[in-house]
Amino acid sequence: MTEAVQNLLQQFINGIQTGAVYALIAIGYTMVYGVLKFINFAHGDVYMVGAYIGYFAIGGFLLHYNPALQDVAALIICMAGCAALGAFIERLAYRPLRNGLTKGDAWPWALFWALYAGLFGGPSLEAHSGLNSVGAFAVAAVIGFALLLPAFFVLFNYLGKRLQPTNSRLNALITAIGISLLIENQWQASFTATPQQYPDQGFKAVNLHAGVIQLNVNGGRIAMLVIAVLLTALLVYIVRYTRTGRAIRAVSLDPEAAALQGIPTDRIIAITFLIGASLAGAAGFLNHNLGQIYFKPDVGVQLGLKAFVAAVLGGIGSIEGAVLGALLMGLAESYVGGSSLSAFKNAIAFVILTAVLLFRPSGLMGRHVPEKV
Amino acid sequence: MVSGGLGRRGRVVFAASMMLLTVAMVFGCKENQTTTTTQGSSSPPAPGGGGAAGGPAIIIGEYGSLTGTQADFGVQTDQGIQLAASEINATGGIEREGKKMPVQIAVDDDKSLAQLAETSVKRLIDEKHVIAVLGEVASSASLAGGKVCQDKGIPMISPSSTNVDVTKGRDMVFRVCFLDSYQAAVVARFAIDGLKAKRVAVFTNKSQAYSTGFSSEFKKAFAKYGGQIVADQSYSQDDQDFRGALTAIKAANPDAILVPGYYNDAGSIVKQARDLGIKVPLLGGDGWSSSKLLTIAGPAANGCYFSDHMSIKDPKPLVQDFVANYKKKFNADPTSMSALGYDAARIMFDAIKRSKSLGGKDIRDAIAQTKDFSGVTGNITINANHDADKSAVIIAVKNGAFEYAATIPDPNKPMSAK
């Protein structure tokens, strides 16, 4: 009897930890859906990039600091790096789709292709000059940017006036899938498919006693859970009680009416991507560093998909729903993973989703909004 | 916000930009997928053959997991093969009909994905025109690549795929290692006699042929020796959170846990098991044989055991010469995977030397006739099933290092008390 209760509680703890990671990712899906009504499938790859940024930071310039400082600094760098990436993806791909190409789109496009100029031009420049590989990459990228910027400027200026913008969500969705594949495959080409692992942060396994019941959990995972809860609370505060949060909610409710009230929709959408991506970056760092799980360039695919399912389960567009859905999924996976049906652990997410959507088509906490025709 | 139909020009521009993205993606992938031909020797012969010794180069293909989840196995095997190639090229190459023919190894990375192994082997055969193929470590990949070799009539030697089905019904495919039916029985015998473990839990990766084969062979043998399987859990490719199943395993209160996966998963499982307060030994097979296991699991791995093809601490001169040469060339210790790669390559060279012609069927016949070949991993005789009969050793993890623990030549006999 005691053993059964202990088991149940242990699986509960395991499930909450998994769910916390899903929640951090799911929030990004649900927020972007809220303002733009499309699924940003590149979100899982932002998570993956977050894991790598932290890994490079800790193995690089943070190497000689003490672990606590390393972790805090790396977490902030991850969040900042991913926020920048998320906002850049929006600026590069989604905004031109939404508002039409303008000459203002020249700089993100030039920047994007400048990276490739650096990637392909760098090695040959390295061979014919005294530069090291990083220097050669930078020089080639800067030259590429300088050449491409005026070219795109002229091109977009010409095209922009002759193009009708489109509000098709399908286009945005397919672009998101394209961006996701691009990041994943480019990452694999640049950093190989070999799994990487954060150095051991020295967290010990902790025994929790409560009478006869004894539970085990790793110290790093407790820290992970605490940080995840703090970040989620911070997010809820921002969305509920700040001007920016009110603007996000307004855009999510009705973008055109919000624009008429003087809300800069484009900037608010960019901020939404910034926030969502920074949480994904934090999740990537927490799950792989504090959770000590190895990662490779396709790690965002499965986790991203599950977080997406969690967001839909909770009612896409609702932040509270995303958190609830994520925790439910984490618990379900944990209990199924520990039963005799453990082979179906990854399928259970979709079984639950199907079952819930049959009875509540807009998810657990989703509002049913009649389609405007 | 403006809505409405997408203009014709709009469509063209967005289609073009998506195409650019796709092109970028394809280029991105290309970098890693291209086949590289490496010369084992430090002094490469002139292109198209015509080295000092005379004959044209013999090109042998190698497909392996140079990157990805089993990258350590792929790289270790590759380095073993490179060592063998450089040694034979130092003598001028493979001697055939009085002429020395230098060896070239064409390497193709399958990124540890069985579905890419097929493409890798096709690329080697169709584009590099290799006359024989070496690879893979992972059984799933060897099964996929072996099918291509069989269909195209190119002989293949797998250095270290232990799944029973790898050579079954394929006359072109060989291996130079033992089978899981034997290896799993060795682990079962060690568990029951060496560890006095009567109750064992099994935790299988159901996406890997190696893991599922190992588990089912273990269960058969363990039941035969009088043990009991108290929990049977599984996980799949890309799973990283094993705590659900491990909690259930812990509740079953086993004396030991069998984890027949590869080192990445096994390392994570060992670590998460210790976090959950599981103190019993975890057992594995040759899939654990990588120093990466120690990196991932850290001190959690102490007190675990696995079966392996050999111990590099074996004092035999043949082994120690190999270890010294390997260290000199690669500045690192070899593993049993490097030794098997080395042996597989040398058996291939030996067979090509004895073969009547450089045709696939003749090389196959020559490999099949390999008898008492003195390899680093033991004496190798290819049997009628195209497998090698060899004995396994048990390796213990102690103080963060691999230590030799026992040799079990015949698992059907009880272990003598130490």
Give tens-digit pLDDT for A272-296: 999 999 999 999 999 999 988 899 9
Query: For residue range B307-338, what is the model confidence (pLDDT) as tens digits?
Result: 999 998 888 999 999 999 999 999 999 999 99
Q: Domain locations in chain B?
A: 35-178+317-386, 181-308+393-408
Architecture of domain B181-308+393-408: 3-Layer(aba) Sandwich (3.40)
pLDDT at B38: 52
Q: Which of B7, B32, B244 sits opposite A345 (nearest CB)?
A: B244
* Residue A51 reports pLDDT greater than 50: yes
Q: Which residues of A118-140 are buried (b: 16+ CB within 10 A; e: fewer)?
A: bbebbeebbeeeebeeeebbebb
Query: For residue range A212-258, what is the model confidence (pLDDT) as tens digits?
Result: 788 888 888 899 999 999 999 999 999 999 999 999 999 998 889 99
* Residue B13 reports pLDDT greater than 80: no
Q: Determine the straight-line distance between the first and last CA of chain A, rounded to whole angstroms.
A: 58
pLDDT tier at A124 (50, 70, 90 boundaries)?
Answer: confident
In SS3 terms, chain A reads as: CHHHHHHHHHHHHHHHHHHHHHHHHHHHHHHHHHHHCCCCCCHHHHHHHHHHHHHHHHHCCCCCCCHHHHHHHHHHHHHHHHHHHHHHHHHHHHHHHHHCCCHHHHHHHHHHHHHHHHHHHHHHHHHCCCCCHHHHHHHHHHHHHHHHHHHHHHHHHHHHCCCCCCCCHHHHHHHHHHHHHHHHHHHHHHHCCCCECCCCCCCCEEEEEECCEEEEEEHHHHHHHHHHHHHHHHHHHHHHHCHHHHHHHHHHHCHHHHHHCCCCHHHHHHHHHHHHHHHHHHHHHHHHHHCCCCECCCHHHHHHHHHHHHHHHHCCCCHHHHHHHHHHHHHHHHHHHCCCCHHHCCCHHHHHHHHHHHHCCCCCCCCCCCCCC
Q: Which of B239, B244, B271 sits opposite A11 (nearest CB)?
A: B244
Distance from the Cα of B110 to chain A's closest Cα (Å) equals 10
Q: Which residues of B touch A339 (CB under 8 A)?
A: 248
Share of chain B above pLDDT 70, in %: 86
Q: Which of B9, B25, B206 sits opposite A185 (nearest CB)?
A: B25
Low-confidence winner among A284-293, A336-345, B162-171, B345-354 (lowest mean pLDDT)? A336-345
Q: Which residues of A touch B244 (CB under 8 A)?
A: 11, 14-15, 333-338, 342, 345
pLDDT tier at A45 (50, 70, 90 boundaries)?
Answer: very high
* Residue B36 reports pLDDT greater than 70: no
Please tell me if residue A196 touches chain B, with a CB cutoff of 8 Å: no
β B132-134/B156-158 pair status: parallel
Q: Which residues of A touch B13 (CB under 8 A)?
A: 101, 159, 163
Inspect the interface and report whether the beta carbons of A167 and B10 lie closer than 8 Å. Answer: no
Side chain identity at residue B250, one-letter code: K
Inspect the interface and report whether the beta carbons of B29 and A189 lie closer than 8 Å. Answer: yes
| Residue among A89, A157, A162, A294 with most chain B CBs within 10 A, to mutate | A294
CATH superfamily of B35-178+317-386: Response regulator (3.40.50.2300)
CB B370 within 8 A of CB B352: no
pLDDT at B97: 84
Token pair in block for residue B179: 């089978």
Q: Which residues of A touch B9 (CB under 8 A)?
A: 159, 162-163
pLDDT tier at B55 (50, 70, 90 boundaries)?
Answer: low
Provide DSSP, B125-177: HHHS--SEEE--SSHHHHHHHHHHHHHHT--EEESS---GGGSTT-TTEEESS
The residue in chain B having the minimum alpha-carbon distance to the alpha carbon of residue A167 is B3
CB contact residues (below 8 A), chain A span 145-164, against chain B:
159, 162-164
Q: Which of A175, A218, A343 sits opposite B275 (nearest CB)?
A: A218
**What is the rounded average pLDDT for all residues in chain A?**
89
Q: Which residues of A touch B6 (CB under 8 A)?
A: 164, 166, 168, 171
Q: What whole-number distance in Å separates Cα of residue B182 and Cα of residue B188?
A: 10
Could you identify the residue written with the tokens 């998909």?
A305
* Residue A55 reports pLDDT greater than 90: yes
Q: What is the mean pLDDT of residues B235-253?
A: 89
Q: What whole-number distance in Å separates Cα of residue B23 and Cα of residue B28?
A: 8
Could you identify the residue written with the tokens 């540890």?
B112
Please tell me if residue A261 touches chain B, with a CB cutoff of 8 Å: no
Is the pLDDT higher at A161 or at B302?
Answer: B302
Is the pLDDT higher at B24 or at B389?
Answer: B389
* Residue B390 reports pLDDT greater than 50: yes
- Three-state DSSP state, B380: strand
* Residue B341 reports pLDDT greater than 50: yes
Q: Is the alpha carbon torsion for A212, A218, A220, A222 positive or negative?
A: negative
Strand partners for A216 = A207
Low-confidence winner among A87-101, A117-131, A156-170, B176-190 (lowest mean pLDDT)? A156-170
Contacts of A354 (CB under 8 A, 6+ apart): none
- Angle formed by the axes of helices A2-36 and B243-251, nearest 10°: 170
* Residue B413 reports pLDDT greater than 90: no
pLDDT tier at B149 (50, 70, 90 boundaries)?
Answer: very high
Q: What is the mean pLDDT of residues A132-156?
A: 91
Number of other residues whose CB lies within 10 A of the CB of residue B228? 12
Share of chain A above pLDDT 70, in %: 98
Strand partners for B158 = B175
Chain Cα centroid distance, residue A92 = 17
Distance from the Cα of B2 to chain A's closest Cα (Å) equals 7
pLDDT at A74: 94
Q: What is the mean pLDDT of residues B392-416?
A: 89
Q: What whole-number distance in Å separates Cα of residue A103 and Cα of residue A89?
A: 17
Q: What whole-number distance in Å separates Cα of residue B222 and Cα of residue B224?
A: 5
The residue in chain A having the minimum alpha-carbon distance to the alpha carbon of residue B231 is A340
The residue in chain B having the minimum alpha-carbon distance to the alpha carbon of residue A298 is B238
Query: For residue range A313-368, what is the model confidence (pLDDT) as tens digits?
Result: 998 888 999 999 999 999 999 998 888 787 788 888 888 888 888 988 888 887 76
- Supply the ipTM of this predicted assembly: 0.83
Q: Which of A10, A171, A182 sits opposite B24 (nearest CB)?
A: A182
**What is the rounded average pLDDT for all residues in chain B?**
87
Please tell me if residue A357 touches chain B, with a CB cutoff of 8 Å: no
Inspect the interface and report whether the beta carbons of B28 and A189 lie closer than 8 Å. Answer: yes
pLDDT at A101: 87
pLDDT tier at B268 (50, 70, 90 boundaries)?
Answer: very high
Token pair in block for residue B286: 């040759």
pLDDT at B54: 54
Q: What whole-number distance in Å separates Cα of residue A363 and Cα of residue A353?
A: 9
* Residue B18 reports pLDDT greater than 80: no
Q: Which of A367, A364, A317 has the alpha carbon at shortest distance from A29?
A: A317
Q: What whole-number distance in Å separates Cα of residue B253 and Cα of residue A164?
A: 67
Q: Which of B358, B349, B357, B352 has the alpha carbon at shortest distance from B129?
A: B358
**Does this chain's domain B35-178+317-386 share its CATH topology with B181-308+393-408?**
yes
Q: What is the mean pLDDT of residues B67-72?
A: 90
Chain Cα centroid distance, residue B154 = 20
Distance from the Cα of A165 to chain B's closest Cα (Å) equals 7
Number of other residues whose CB lies within 10 A of the CB of residue A208? 13
Q: Which residues of B touch A329 (CB under 8 A)?
A: none
